[in-house]
Structure 1
Amino acid sequence: MDNNNKQRMKGFKRQAWWMTVVLTVSMNVIGLSTAQAETLSLTEEALDCILEPNKNIDVSSPVEGVVDEVMVERGSYIKKGAPVLTLRSELEAATVNLAKARAEFGSRTVERNDKLQDLISDHEKDEIATDAQIAQLELQEAKVRLAMKTIYSPISGLVIETLKEEGEFVSADPIMTIVSINPLHAEVIAPVSYLGKVQKKQKAKVGLESGPFKGEYQASVKTVDPVVDPASGTFRIQLTLPNPRNKIPSGLKCQVRF
Structure 2
Amino acid sequence: MARTRIGMLVFLAVLNGATPASALAQEALAVDIVEAEVTTTERRSSLTGEIQASQSLMAAFPIGGRVTEVMVELGAKVEQGAALAQLDSIQQELAVRAAEAGLVTARADHVQAREEFDRAEALLTSGAGTRAVRDAAEDQLRAAEGVLAQAEAELDRAKKALLDTVLRAPSSSTVIQRMIEPGQIIGAAQPALELALDNGLQAVFEISEAMLIEGTPSAIELSRLSSPKDTFDGVVSEISPLVDAATGTVAVKVAIPNPPDGITYGDPVRGTVTRSRGQLISLPFDAMTASADGPAVWKVDPQTMKVSLHTVEVERYATGEVLLAEGVEGGEWIVTRGAQLLFPGRIVRRAEAGQ
Correspondence 1:127 to 2:143 = yes
Q: What displacement does 1:142 show? A: 0.5
Correspondence 1:194 to 2:214 = yes
- Relative to structure 1, the CA distance from residue 142 to residue 245 in structure 2 (aligned partners, 3 Å threshold; closer, same or farther) is farther
Query: Structure 2 residue aligned with 1:151, among 151, 154, 167?
Result: 167
SS in 2 for 1:127: helix
Correspondence 1:210 to 2:225 = yes
CA contact (8 A) 2:222 2:231 kept: yes
Corresponding residue for 2:256? 241
- Relative to structure 1, the CA distance from residue 232 to residue 93 in structure 2 (aligned partners, 3 Å threshold; closer, same or farther) is closer
Corresponding residue for 2:110? 110
Q: Matched residues in 2 for 1:161 and 1:225: separation?
A: 23
* Gap runs ≥5 in structure 1: 1-29
Q: Matched residues in 2 for 1:217 and 1:156: separation?
A: 25
Where in structure 2 are the equivalents of 1:45-56 lying within 5 Å? Answer: 45-54=44-53, 55-56=55-56
User: What do residues 114-146 of structure 1 show as CA deviations (whole Å, max 9, x unaligned)?
Assistant: 343325433222211111111111111111111
Correspondence 1:97 to 2:112 = no
CA contact (8 A) 1:63 1:149 kept: yes
Amino acid at match of 2:47: D
TM-score when normalising by structure 1:
0.66
User: What do residues 71-118 of structure 1 show as CA deviations (whole Å, max 9, x unaligned)?
Assistant: 112332223432111111122112112212322432344344334332
Q: Matched residues in 1 for 2:201 and 2:76: separation?
A: 18
Based on CA coordinates, which of the two structures has the bigger radius of gyration? 2
SS in 2 for 1:45: strand
Corresponding residue for 1:77? 77
Corresponding residue for 1:253? 269
Q: Matched residues in 1 for 2:263 and 2:228: separation?
A: 8
CA contact (8 A) 1:46 1:257 kept: yes
SS in 2 for 1:137: helix
TM-score when normalising by structure 2:
0.50
Q: What displacement does 1:244 show? A: 7.3
- Relative to structure 1, the CA distance from residue 167 to residue 238 in structure 2 (aligned partners, 3 Å threshold; closer, same or farther) is closer
Q: Matched residues in 1 for 2:263 and 2:270: separation?
A: 15
Q: Which structure's residues are more often strand, by fraction?
A: 2
CA contact (8 A) 1:65 1:87 kept: yes
Q: Which structure's residues are more often helix, by fraction?
A: 1
Q: Matched residues in 2 for 1:230 and 1:137: separation?
A: 52
Q: CA RMSD in A?
A: 3.5
Identity of aligned residues (%): 21
Q: What displacement does 1:238 show? A: 1.9
CA contact (8 A) 1:76 1:158 kept: yes
Q: What displacement does 1:240 show? A: 0.8
Correspondence 1:175 to 2:192 = yes
Q: Matched residues in 2 for 1:133 and 1:181: separation?
A: 42
Q: Matched residues in 1 for 2:228 and 2:199: separation?
A: 15
- Relative to structure 1, the CA distance from residue 229 to residue 75 in structure 2 (aligned partners, 3 Å threshold; closer, same or farther) is closer
SS in 2 for 1:194: coil
Amino acid at match of 2:195: I
Q: What displacement does 1:224 show? A: 3.5
Correspondence 1:185 to 2:205 = no
CA contact (8 A) 1:100 1:139 kept: yes
Q: 245-254 or 127-136: which moved more?
A: 245-254
Q: What displacement does 1:215 show? A: 1.5
- Relative to structure 1, the CA distance from residue 163 to residue 86 in structure 2 (aligned partners, 3 Å threshold; closer, same or farther) is same
Corresponding residue for 1:17? none
* Gap runs ≥5 in structure 2: 1-37, 122-133, 275-355
CA contact (8 A) 2:76 2:174 kept: yes
